[in-house]
Amino acid sequence: MGHGRTVKPLVRMRARRPDEKHRAATPLELLFDLCFVVAAGQAGARLVHALAEGETGHGITGYLLVFFAIWWAWVNFTWFASAYDTDDVPYRLATLVQMAGVLVLAAGIPRAFDDGDYGVAITGYVIMRVALAAQWLRAARGESGAGRTAALRYAIGFVLVQVGWVVLVLLPHGAWAWGVGPLIAAEIAVPAFAEHRRRSPWHPHHIAERYGLFTIIMLGESVAAATVAVRSALDDSAALDELLPIAAGGLVIVFAAFWIYFAVPIHTYLVSSRQAFVWGLGHYVILGSAAAIGAGIELAVEQATHHAHISTLAASSAVTVPTALFLLSTWAVHSRHFKTGIAQQLVLPATALLVLAASFAGHGAVPLAALATACSVAAGLWLARPKAPVARAGTG
């Protein structure tokens, strides 16, 4: 919808068909995704800053919390849009409000990282969630029976959890550590509770495409980091021999990650709510690690140019650890369902171990990790090649 068609002022929001032909991402969804590029970029930049200052625990914890807010808000919009996108004026305006919430969240990320002040970030998050709750209420008006019940459960659940986030921000700072875990669990529980008896009518092919596009966006952060490495190499010829391998290795890692992720037709696997729920949740690690690869490349560049006072091992691990996590999580929730035989199943886990081992290769860590990921692509192609038919005796 929305491809060259006139937008209607108001359409009754009804469930779309899960088997709708030629269902694809809309321009509005792509514009929505661009707002998340800003938020993910902010999270990656603050992660680089924290790691460069040696604040590893603080940086990783902050990144995990902020990225959860970014990812979970995107996830819930995406699944709702797959089921109920009307592309009329109210729908577009509600999406605009959610986009504004993303930008407020992005603006609050530096405070969240530097001062532990999550007030602005939570404000942006609440804006997104309340707008989505209003969309679910609108869906409830157009539904009946189990569909209406599920939509109301979504709306009420979102509102209640947002009240919890607001209360947590207003409480003394010490309450944050105790409250954040239960509220994250409550966020995840809302879809499970809402769709307990009736699956919302999301479109498998559309969902697979949307997740694929968002994965590309997260990997794009790494392409930008490789560009920074090349630029730094041109500005600092003394570090040329260290920076160019980082840039080239980072680009190969990104390309291999892209190849590995898109090697399987995942929409054929998304046939039930339970499968889709686990698959969707697992993308927190896939997408978070994809974005973190870019942050790691930037950190490796800063260490090579002596702007980050950390060890070579620490800088190398900032690239190899998220790369290994990407490989393992992609295998665990995404590609293993299409692998046959022990050899195919072991390619990605074994590659992840080789990538982690490359951490100890000093300044050669990134190119060695890139070599390992490239070899995994080659191995996957070799193992998946069509087998030649066996000739029968006495023929030919």
pLDDT higher than 90, residue 375: yes
Whether the predicted pLDDT of 305 surpasses 90: no
Residue 239: pLDDT band with limits 50, 70, 90: low
Which of the two residues, 240 and 255, has the higher pLDDT score? 255
Q: Rounded to an integer, what distance in angstroms lies between the CA atom of residue 165 and that of residue 54?
A: 30
Looking at residue 394, its pLDDT comes to 44
Task: Kindly report which listed range (76-80, 236-240, 247-251, 320-324) carries the lowest average pLDDT score.
Answer: 236-240
The pLDDT of residue 396 is: 36
Span 310-338, average pLDDT: 93
Model confidence over 170-205: pLDDT tens digits? 998 888 889 999 999 999 999 989 987 777 889 999
Instruction: Name the band, by pLDDT with cuts 50, 70 and 90, for residue 80.
Output: very high
Is-contact 320 365, C-beta < 8 A? yes
What pLDDT shows up at residue 395? Answer: 40
Give the percent of the chain with pLDDT over 70.
Answer: 93
What is the band of 149 on the pLDDT scale with cuts at 50, 70, 90?
very high
Please state, in angstroms and as integers, the Cα–Cα distance from residue 117 to each residue in 64, 123, 127, 154, following that order.
Answer: 15, 11, 17, 28
Within 10 A of 88 (CB to CB), how many other CB atoms are there? Answer: 16
Q: Write down all domains in the chain, each with its CATH number in brackets.
A: 27-194 (no CATH), 204-383 (1.20.1410)
The string of pLDDT tens digits covering residues 88-105 is 999 999 999 999 999 999
Q: How confident is the model at residue 389 (pLDDT cuts 50, 70, 90)?
A: low
Distances 253 to 146, 149, 225, 226, 296 between C-alpha atoms, Å: 46, 45, 12, 10, 12
- Judged by average pLDDT, the poorest of 35-44, 93-102, 178-187, 348-357 is 35-44
**C-beta of residue 226 within 8 angstroms of C-beta of residue 44:** no
Band of residue 233 on the pLDDT scale cut at 50, 70, 90: low
The CA angle 132-136-142, to the nearest 5 degrees, is 145
Q: What are phi and psi of 395, to 5 degrees?
A: -100, 165
CA dist 349 and 328 (Å) reads: 6
Q: Does the pLDDT value for residue 8 go beyond 60?
A: yes
Name the token pair of 77. 């919009």
* Owner of token pair 């692998």: 339
For the segment 240-255, the average pLDDT, to the nearest whole number, is 88
